[in-house]
Structure 1
Amino acid sequence: MPAVDTGASTTVDADAVTATDSPPAPGGPAADSRLTPGGPGYRRMSLALFLAGVATFALLYSTQALLPLVSRDFGASASAASWTVSAATGGLALFVLPMSALSERFGRRTVMTASLAVAVAVGLLVPFAPSMGALIALRAVQGAALAGLPASATAYLAEEVRPKALITAIGLFVAGNSVGGMSGRIITGWVAQEWGWRVSVGTIGVVAVGCAVAFRLLLPAPRHFTPGSLRPRVLARTVRDHLSDPLLCRLYAIGALFMTVFGGVYTVIGYRLTEEPFGLPQGIIGSIFLVYLVGTVSASTAGRLVGRLGRRGALYLAAGTTTTGLALSLASSLMLVLAGLVLITAGFFAGHAVASSAVSHTAKRGRAQAAALYQSAYYIGSSVGSALGAAAFHSGGWSGTVAIGVLAVLGVVTITVFGSRAARAAVAVRSA
């Protein structure tokens, strides 16, 4: 895979074995006991993390499709109601790094289990929020609790799965995110149409309970995890090293920009579809999120896409697909708007899967912190996108939200071009 794809190093020795791998077989080479497709434990691991992804996105965005109803219930504007989404993603962004440090010390599976348990408990309290302020506060706590999932999951995969299967494994986790986002919004849409938004988010909480229990029962115990230090100086040094790596920083920015587009579009789309010329009921609006199935496919096939086009080509394709979708969404035809959402979703999930897997490939130490910094940037992008998208919609309508998205995609393209040139220059210097 060309090193110039994103400016990130993509060369990984598929036969590399961590220090905790199985000892060499008598008279033979070192055996790599990490998980691989078709091997024992791989399916259980994939299903467990898929369900964790479902629960994470279903809880994190449980109010997003319901914002018009939340606005009506509390007498709040679109910008104010959007904070029920931004607070959750912001809480996750702020706490993902500390939670990743805990996972280095206490283990990935332990931290992921505790995070899901707390997030589910808070999710069962959200329907009883007496005011907009209380709802936003509960959502912020819920987002902070969920921070233990994303970075720990990618670090777990990097340690327990063979390098050649890593992109596919991470793609399946991201696919779980898309299924959670889709099913959560569909369920909330139809339930809210009959019984209101409070019963709707409570239903998501109950679904998440089932996902959390199944996750804990299915996920194999880690075999290649080595506990790290919780000393602040060690953590600070690791974070500093990652932030001083231009390759990682470019990947962090790409993830944030893709999520700015996605957060803005899906925070505002419900308002647009309830207005003329569409005037759709809440249940139908919830069903619109079936387009997330496209994200499930594009994320889970990201590995094959990178194999054919390289990381740089995959990112360009994702950016172009997203931009085309934004343009189509400006139409007054419902079918064209839906086609636009399909393309935006496909482009976003493909770009996210490619960038997040590249982080795991690039970081040679402190993988949990590297993944945590990516997730922090990613969810900051979601918070910014939700807030800017809602503000732009309030002042300029849907075209304002689309303009924010186009600027973010241009940022992705610019960073990818810059990274490619930097990588070519580095190769030329080494060859000289």
Structure 2
Amino acid sequence: MIAARTPAWWRTTLALCLGSFLVFINLYAPQPLLPALREAFGVSTLAISLVMSVATLSLAASLLVFGPLSDAIGRGAIMRLTLLASGLLSLALSLAPTFEALLVLRALQGFVLGGLPAVAIAWMGDEFERPALLSAVGLYIGANSLGGIGGRVVGGAVAEIGGASASFLAVGAMTLVGLALFWKLLPPARAFTPRRFALGGALADLGAHLVTPKLLGAYLLGGLNFMIFINQYSYLTFRLAEAPFGLGARLLGLIFLTYLGGTLGSSLSGRLAARWSQPACMMLGILILAGGTAMTLAGSLGWIIIGLSLNAFGFFLAHSMASSWVGRHARCARGSASALYLVFYYGGASLGGLWLEPFWRAAGWLGVALASWLVLGATLALAAWLWCGERREAQGAALAPASSPQTSSSRSTRPQADL
């Protein structure tokens, strides 16, 4: 087993963080390009939002494939080969002749992008000692957000110079170069033991999670919050590309630096959870997300950026609480319980365009804000429901010890023969 802070730990953690970074630059690089792609292909805002939606939906589906598959055939090969396919598909996207071809390639890319997120933490669990695992996972999650920011910034900056095709080429080339380093750094697995895949058992575990109210509430909360958060950015690119802002692809990419507010939110989540319950922190995050959305209604770009930063802080606070809630309350098969949370998470992201588009057409950005508040009202109710359930459990646990002295007293009065 690999111990924390050893040369082997640093090398392996660097490899997995690099792999995570490459996954998310590929997934999110097209987002600042949506206004330009809409003009290039002559399609509607709803149609062009499918560039993001089909990728996140196929990624969500792939999590249920690669996770169980890796238990049978190993994890290293899945990570390497899916990263290779992701880079090649980015190069192919630069040559997509039609909008339909673009969507097919993005769906394929989304599926293979799920290979590394589905198995990376399981790889760490196989190979790392527990303290080493906890330290590495924190860095790995940080690389997720950096990849999301980097993909949008690089995608927008390159597109400003050479157009969307150049952006896809640049991301594809970065992926292949990074893959070569990842391939060299990641050591062979030594503690992995293949297990026979049992479809019936896996489906039974998933079914058990879905009928557990505590887990289902967190799944819905995470998926619906992400549906609003990530798709707000997509529609905001359309708003900021038009008058009076008129931002180009490079500046639209820089808007995603507001994601750093989410880095702060997730880093403070542990401290907040030490003071308040997890559902209370979820409610706080949702309220901050709703407040940040209100600020984006301002006509000033500065206030919009502040609002987006608040949105990121609130969303990632609620997300970190919901995901850890799942790990805490899953009574069996915690791996599949966490994977199912990600299925709802990315599945929600893929459906956001369908929900927001009618509001966007009817009332522009004000319509998007109203649609967001409707969904956030539902997730706030879910968090409040989880909070009430946790309080009831705590009260029940507090009452249980009170009956213990009576029970022991009654037992002490029994005849010795009854003992």
TM band (smaller chain): 0.7 to 0.9
Q: CA deviation at 1:34?
A: 6.8
Aligned equivalents of 1:143, 1:45: Cα separation in 2: 25
Q: Is the 8 A contact 1:239 1:369 kept in 2?
A: yes
Aligned equivalents of 1:424, 1:163: Cα separation in 2: 31
Structure 1 pair 42–353 and aligned structure 2 pair: CA distance change class (3 A): farther
Q: Is the 8 A contact 1:171 1:300 kept in 2?
A: no
Structure 1 pair 46–164 and aligned structure 2 pair: CA distance change class (3 A): same
Q: CA deviation at 1:121?
A: 1.8
In structure 1, the partner of 2:369 is 402
Q: CA deviation at 1:154?
A: 3.7
In structure 1, the partner of 2:320 is 353
DSSP 3-state at the match of 2:254: helix
Q: 1:61-110 deviations in whole A, cap 9, x for unaligned?
A: 22111011111111111111111111101111222112211122223333
Q: Is the 8 A contact 1:82 1:387 kept in 2?
A: no
Aligned equivalents of 1:209, 1:391: Cα separation in 2: 39
Q: Is the 8 A contact 1:259 1:381 kept in 2?
A: yes
DSSP 3-state at the match of 1:228: coil
Q: Output the TM-score relative to the length of structure 1.
A: 0.84
In structure 2, the partner of 1:57 is 24
Q: Does 1:145 align with 2:112?
A: yes
One-letter identity of the residue aligned with 1:317: L
Structure 1 pair 82–201 and aligned structure 2 pair: CA distance change class (3 A): same
Aligned equivalents of 2:193, 2:340: Cα separation in 1: 20
Aligned equivalents of 2:207, 2:53: Cα separation in 1: 27
In structure 1, the partner of 2:411 is none
Q: CA deviation at 1:389?
A: 2.9
DSSP 3-state at the match of 2:115: coil
Out of 139, 145, 153, the residue aligned to residue 172 of structure 1 is 139
Q: Does 1:246 align with 2:213?
A: yes
Aligned equivalents of 2:164, 2:298: Cα separation in 1: 29
Q: Is the 8 A contact 1:267 1:390 kept in 2?
A: no
Aligned equivalents of 1:292, 1:95: Cα separation in 2: 25
Aligned equivalents of 1:405, 1:170: Cα separation in 2: 31
In structure 2, the partner of 1:126 is 93
Percent same amino acid at aligned positions? 34
Q: Is the 8 A contact 2:280 2:387 kept in 1?
A: no
DSSP 3-state at the match of 2:94: helix
Bigger Cα Rg: 2
* Count of residue correspondences: 399
Aligned equivalents of 1:53, 1:286: Cα separation in 2: 20
Aligned equivalents of 2:131, 2:270: Cα separation in 1: 9
Structure 1 pair 242–216 and aligned structure 2 pair: CA distance change class (3 A): farther
Q: Is the 8 A contact 1:78 1:394 kept in 2?
A: no
Stretch deviating more after TM superposition (399-408 or 304-313) = 304-313
Q: Is the 8 A contact 1:258 1:412 kept in 2?
A: yes
Q: 1:20-79 deviations in whole A, cap 9, x for unaligned?
A: xxxxxxxxxxxxx6755x456443344333222222221112211101111111111111
Matches within 5 A, 1:92-131: 92-131=59-98
One-letter identity of the residue aligned with 1:344: N
Q: Is the 8 A contact 2:33 2:155 kept in 1?
A: yes
Out of 33, 39, 48, the residue aligned to residue 15 of structure 2 is 48
Q: CA deviation at 1:407?
A: 2.5
Structure with greater proportional helix content: 2
Q: CA deviation at 1:242?
A: 2.0
In structure 2, the partner of 1:11 is none
Out of 36, 42, 46, the residue aligned to residue 75 of structure 1 is 42
Q: Is the 8 A contact 1:356 1:374 kept in 2?
A: yes
Q: Output the TM-score relative to the length of structure 2.
A: 0.86
Q: Does 1:274 align with 2:236?
A: no
Stretch deviating more after TM superposition (283-292 or 191-200) = 283-292
Q: Does 1:343 align with 2:310?
A: yes
Structure 1 pair 331–124 and aligned structure 2 pair: CA distance change class (3 A): same
Higher relative contact order (CA 8 A, sep 6+): 1
Structure 1 pair 336–124 and aligned structure 2 pair: CA distance change class (3 A): same
One-letter identity of the residue aligned with 1:155: A
In structure 1, the partner of 2:165 is 198
In structure 1, the partner of 2:53 is 86
In structure 2, the partner of 1:327 is 294
Q: CA deviation at 1:166?
A: 6.5
Out of 260, 280, 289, the residue aligned to residue 293 of structure 1 is 260
Q: Is the 8 A contact 1:393 1:401 kept in 2?
A: yes
Matches within 5 A, 1:205-216: 205-216=172-183
Q: Is the 8 A contact 1:155 1:371 kept in 2?
A: no
In the alignment, structure 2 segments of 5+ residues that lack a partner are 401-419
Aligned equivalents of 2:20, 2:11: Cα separation in 1: 14
One-letter identity of the residue aligned with 1:259: F
Stretch deviating more after TM superposition (135-144 or 295-304) = 295-304
One-letter identity of the residue aligned with 1:349: F
In the alignment, structure 1 segments of 5+ residues that lack a partner are 1-32
Aligned equivalents of 1:120, 1:349: Cα separation in 2: 28
Q: CA deviation at 1:333?
A: 0.7
Q: 1:388-429 deviations in whole A, cap 9, x for unaligned?
A: 234432332011212222223223322222112223333444
Matches within 5 A, 1:378-389: 378-389=345-356
Structure 1 pair 273–416 and aligned structure 2 pair: CA distance change class (3 A): same
Structure 1 pair 356–117 and aligned structure 2 pair: CA distance change class (3 A): farther
Matches within 5 A, 1:16-27: none
**RMSD of aligned C-alpha atoms?**
2.5
DSSP 3-state at the match of 1:292: helix
Structure 1 pair 167–394 and aligned structure 2 pair: CA distance change class (3 A): farther
Aligned equivalents of 1:201, 1:405: Cα separation in 2: 31
Structure 1 pair 130–216 and aligned structure 2 pair: CA distance change class (3 A): same
Q: Does 1:366 align with 2:333?
A: yes
Q: Is the 8 A contact 1:122 1:142 kept in 2?
A: yes
